[in-house]
A and B are shown apart, each in its own frame.
Chain A
């Protein structure tokens, strides 16, 4: 799995979700994105679903899948690598 993709995801998430006080270096690959980790919420989840579709051509057929896919940067990168159009 490319570390470039993980870095790219961190930068996209920061920009897309306007995380003003967070840098890519502060997000560890396995940090939880929701809850106690980065503190993202359900609206952010929708933003991430749109990002997957727009930037990587991946449509989530079942939004419930998102719970596992968006667990961390590492799980997102793994899912994108496996499913990228």
Chain B
């Protein structure tokens, strides 16, 4: 089986990650219960005639995918695989609202076209003329990991050489309102520095798009090697640490081999305890990093974590605001990412500097 590399990255998020030269140098603070992505100048990436019909998720993905392709030195890929929890939800909401408001009459085509989950993968393929495998995974908060898994298998088996893998979700007002009602999103505004220690129920909702060129060929731009990954839809809280240890062993590793663990803490007092249990047990002697105070939480926020892990491995830099404990390692070489949402859909990914 072939090895799998992350050859390039691209991101649009709540932080200025569209600036490919920096790495969380100029953080964007917020005070709220939902936080929108910082918009790049979309006109630099998308012709105005095309942009006028694009939902936010497509626009963000046009930028992040183009940045990833440019860095990889590619104009086309063998496959495009995208993970999204909610797709272009904004257009779906508008389409449904039009249905209701106009008594199922006067439905316009644009919103319908954009209301499907696979709009992003399709739009990118159309833009670059990619006629290869095009797939969208819609699996809640393991949507991105499912895409990654598919890409990993294809690359390992040499069914493809370069695959564009993406993660995208957009913030929509109605979704925030309904999820606040059921305590999944915080009711009281919090700031970036407060959110992970807020001690309240729910999360701060965010949005973003993160794309990566995955390949079975290492090149000058390569960020990391994908060592292993695991997805667990259901897992009792008491089984998490045992499962992580078994996962590491299966990949020929032990916890001492890790230079850091990137945790998906999102500030929800009811479910961050799963992370806290690990922080004080199997991960207590390992540098711990967090990121969802910077990105907000959304189904594919782990794409931001994956982007951050690759940046750390390539630059050797660890921004102060992502440190979760006091243990420091210079030039981290191997990182474990662990994520879960509301105690379900746990994912593990190990990346290694190369």
Residues of A within 8 A of B (CB): 16-21, 39, 43, 46-47, 50, 53-54
B73 to chain A, nearest CB (A): 32
**Quick one: which of A18, A21, A43, A53 contacts B106, CB cutoff 8 A?**
A53
Residues of B within 8 A of A (CB): 48-49, 51-53, 102, 105-110, 113
Q: Which residues of A contact B107 (CB under 8 A)?
A: 50
- By beta carbon, the residue of chain B nearest A45 is B109
Q: Can you list 13 A-B contacts with CB-CB less than 8 angstroms, sorted by A residue number?
A: A17-B52, A19-B52, A21-B48, A43-B110, A43-B113, A46-B108, A46-B109, A47-B109, A47-B110, A53-B105, A53-B106, A54-B102, A54-B106
- What is the CA–CA distance of A19 and B48 in the complex, to the nearest angstrom? 8
- By beta carbon, the residue of chain A nearest B54 is A18
Q: Which residues of A contact B52 (CB under 8 A)?
A: 17-20
Q: Which residues of A contact B109 (CB under 8 A)?
A: 43, 46-47
Q: Which residues of B contact A18 (CB under 8 A)?
A: 52-53
- By beta carbon, the residue of chain B nearest A18 is B52
Q: Which residues of B contact A16 (CB under 8 A)?
A: 108
- By beta carbon, the residue of chain A nearest B106 is A54
Apart from A19-B52, A20-B48, A54-B105: 4 A-B pairs, beta carbons within 8 A: A43-B53, A43-B109, A50-B108, A54-B102
A8 to chain B, nearest CB (A): 18
- What is the CA–CA distance of A21 and B47 in the complex, to the nearest angstrom? 11
Q: Which residues of B contact A20 (CB under 8 A)?
A: 48, 51-52
A-B pairs, 10 with minimum CB distance: A54-B106, A18-B52, A46-B109, A50-B108, A50-B106, A47-B108, A21-B48, A43-B109, A39-B49, A20-B52
Q: Which residues of A contact B49 (CB under 8 A)?
A: 39
- What is the CA–CA distance of A47 and B48 in the complex, to the nearest angstrom? 18
- What is the CA–CA distance of A19 and B50 in the complex, to the nearest angstrom? 10
Q: Which residues of A contact B51 (CB under 8 A)?
A: 20
A20 to chain B, nearest CB (A): 6
B10 to chain A, nearest CB (A): 24
- What is the CA–CA distance of A39 and B49 in the complex, to the nearest angstrom? 8
- What is the CA–CA distance of A16 and B105 in the complex, to the nearest angstrom? 16
B116 to chain A, nearest CB (A): 15
Q: Which residues of B contact A43 (CB under 8 A)?
A: 53, 109-110, 113
Q: Which residues of A contact B108 (CB under 8 A)?
A: 16, 46-47, 50
Q: Which residues of B contact A21 (CB under 8 A)?
A: 48
B95 to chain A, nearest CB (A): 13
A66 to chain B, nearest CB (A): 14
- What is the CA–CA distance of A17 and B52 in the complex, to the nearest angstrom? 7
Q: Which residues of A contact B105 (CB under 8 A)?
A: 53-54
- By beta carbon, the residue of chain B nearest A47 is B108
- What is the CA–CA distance of A18 and B91 in the complex, to the nearest angstrom? 14
Q: Which residues of A contact B113 (CB under 8 A)?
A: 43
- By beta carbon, the residue of chain A nearest B52 is A18
- What is the CA–CA distance of A45 and B48 in the complex, to the nearest angstrom? 18
B58 to chain A, nearest CB (A): 13
B203 to chain A, nearest CB (A): 31
- By beta carbon, the residue of chain A nearest B48 is A21
- What is the CA–CA distance of A18 and B109 in the complex, to the nearest angstrom? 14
- What is the CA–CA distance of A77 and B102 in the complex, to the nearest angstrom? 24
Q: Which residues of B contact A53 (CB under 8 A)?
A: 105-106
B122 to chain A, nearest CB (A): 15
B41 to chain A, nearest CB (A): 13
- What is the CA–CA distance of A21 and B106 in the complex, to the nearest angstrom? 26
- What is the CA–CA distance of A50 and B110 in the complex, to the nearest angstrom? 12
- What is the CA–CA distance of A54 and B113 in the complex, to the nearest angstrom? 20
A56 to chain B, nearest CB (A): 12
- By beta carbon, the residue of chain A nearest B42 is A20
Q: Which residues of A contact B106 (CB under 8 A)?
A: 50, 53-54
- What is the CA–CA distance of A47 and B109 in the complex, to the nearest angstrom? 7
Q: Which residues of A contact B102 (CB under 8 A)?
A: 54
B88 to chain A, nearest CB (A): 15
- What is the CA–CA distance of A62 and B336 in the complex, to the nearest angstrom? 61
- What is the CA–CA distance of A16 and B51 in the complex, to the nearest angstrom? 14
- What is the CA–CA distance of A50 and B51 in the complex, to the nearest angstrom? 21
